[in-house]
Amino acid sequence: MTTQQSKTLAIDFGTSNSACAIIDNGIVRRIPMERESETLPTAVFFPASRGGMRIGSAAGQALIDGDEGRYMRALKSALGTPLLNEARLIGGKRRSISDIITAFLAELKARAETATGAHFTKALSGRPVRFHSKDDARDAQAETDLRACYLAAGFEAVDFMYEPEAAALASAGAAASGDIGLIVDIGGGTSDFSVFEMHGTQVKILASHGIRLGGTNFDHAVSMSHVMEHLGHGSELERELGDGRLPVPSSIFVDLATWEKIPFLYTQDTRRMVKQMLPLAVEAQKLGRLENVLVDELGHDLAFAVERGKIAANATGARSQIEMGLIEKGLAAQITEGSLNAALSTYGDQIRNAAMETLVRAQTAPQQIKSVVFVGGSSLMGMVSREMATLCPTSQQDYGEAFTAVVDGLALATQT
C-alpha cells in the first residue's frame, strides 16, 4: 500500500463472508484477509485443548480435519437476540457470541493494519436495511449490539451504511445519467433492496427496504425438506404407558438445521434426551443417526453438505445428492432442481414482494428499472433471478461484483 490512505476501514461484516477495503490515493483497495483472498468466511473455531481462535478458511479446515473443538458460523444472526449474550463454555472458557464477534472484528482490524501499515481508528460498517423484519426495537438493538462489538474490538468510532446503498455506489460506473437501477442484495441472513437513480456521476437513493431472509434460511429449508427425515424427523415413538404413538419432537431438528444454533445442541441434556427416545423409536435406525450426529458433533459437516447440495442443484435440469457418509456409510439424500425450487418456493414470493415494496416506496414502476444488480452469494440462486425477471421483465440483469460490491461501496463512502 502507498500513502494518502484513509484512516477509516470499510468493513463488510457478513453472515457468511466478510471483507475489508480502504481508499488509497483515490482508488478502492480491497485488503487481502487470508492467502491473498479478498473475502474470508465469517467463521471461527476454538480448539478444545490449546491454541487461539482460528477464523475464516482456517476455521473451516479445522472442521474438515476433524480437530477437536467448537466451530461457529452465522454469528451475525444473533445480533439483537437474547442468544447474543448467553455465555457458554467454548474452547475451555465461558464466552458469548458477542465476545466472539468482538474477537473476530479485532482480528480483521489487526490483519488490515498489518497489510497496510496504517492504524485504523474508525470503521464504516455495512448493515442490512433490517436486521429483523418486523421488530423495530430488536432491529435497533442489533445495531447497538454491533456498535458495541466494534468499539470493544479497538475502534474509537463506527458509522453504519445500508449494504445495498453501498452496493449502489459501487455499481454507478456501469450506469448512464438518468438510469434507474435496483440492487438485489441476498446475503447469508438478510435480503436487501435499493432503488437508485444516476444524476450525472452521482448516485441518488430513491428507497431502500429489507427483510430477514437469506442463504441460511435457504439451507434450513433444504435441510428440513431433504435431510432431517433421514435422522428421524417426522417419525414416531411408542408410548411408555398405554397405546398409541407420539411424534419425535421437532425442535431438535429445527435447531440442527439452523447454522447459529448447531453448537448449542452438543450438550449432555440433548444427548440424553435422544438416548432415552431410542428404545421407543418406531424407526430406531434413523434416530440412531441423530444420536451419532450429536455424539460425534457432525452438525456443521451436515450443514456444509446441505449447502453443497443446494448449490449443485441450482442449475437447469440439475440432479445431485446431499452426501451424509460421515453419519452412515453410503447415506445420501437426493436433491434436484425441482425439489430445491419446491423447498424454496415461499421464499421466492417473499423476495419478489420485498423488491416490489422497494419500488413502491421509490415511486418507481418496474418497467422503469434499467438494470437489476445482484449482490451477495445467495443472489446467485436461480430462484432469485427468475423472481426479478418476473417483476422487472424489461431490465438487464447484472452479476458484476456480487461478492465485493458492498465493501467497494463502503470504501467509496469513506471519502465523503
Is the overall model pTM greater than 0.85, yes or no? yes
Q: What are phi and psi of 92, to 5 degrees?
A: 75, 10
263 Cα distance to chain centroid: 16
CATH number at residue 54: 3.30.420.40
**352-382 per-position pLDDT tens digit:** 999 999 999 999 999 999 999 999 999 999 9
306 within some domain = no
Q: Can you point out the beta strands (E) in 278-346? A: 319-323, 332-336
**49-103 per-position pLDDT tens digit:** 777 899 999 999 998 888 889 999 999 999 999 999 999 888 888 999 999 999 9
In which residue ranges of the chain is pLDDT below 70?
A: 1-6
Strands 93-95 and 122-127: unpaired
Strands 245-247 and 319-323: unpaired
**DSSP H helical segments within 65-126, as ranges?**
97-116
b/e code 328-339 from CB counts within 10 Å (16+ = b) = eeebbbebebeb
288 within some domain = no
3-state secondary structure of 266: coil
pLDDT score at 2: 43
pLDDT score at 35: 83
- The residues near 110 (Cβ < 8 Å, ≥ 6 apart) are none
All three cell numbers of 222, joined, read: 433444504
CB 184 within 8 A of CB 211: no
CB 193 within 8 A of CB 358: yes
pLDDT score at 278: 96
- The residues near 136 (Cβ < 8 Å, ≥ 6 apart) are none
104 within some domain = yes
pLDDT score at 5: 54
What range does the domain containing 152 cover? 8-163+407-413
Could you tell me how many helices (H) and strands (E) the chain has, helices first?
Answer: 12, 20
pLDDT score at 149: 98
pLDDT score at 92: 83
pLDDT score at 1: 43
84 within some domain = yes
Amino acid at 182: L
**284-319 per-position pLDDT tens digit:** 999 999 999 999 999 999 999 999 999 999 987 778
94 within some domain = yes
360 within some domain = no
380 within some domain = no
pLDDT score at 28: 95
Number of domains in the chain: 1
Q: Can you point out the beta strands (E) in 92-190? A: 93-95, 122-127, 157-162, 180-186
Residue 386: how many CB atoms within 10 A of its CB? 13
Distance CA 334, CA 18 (A): 31
1 within some domain = no
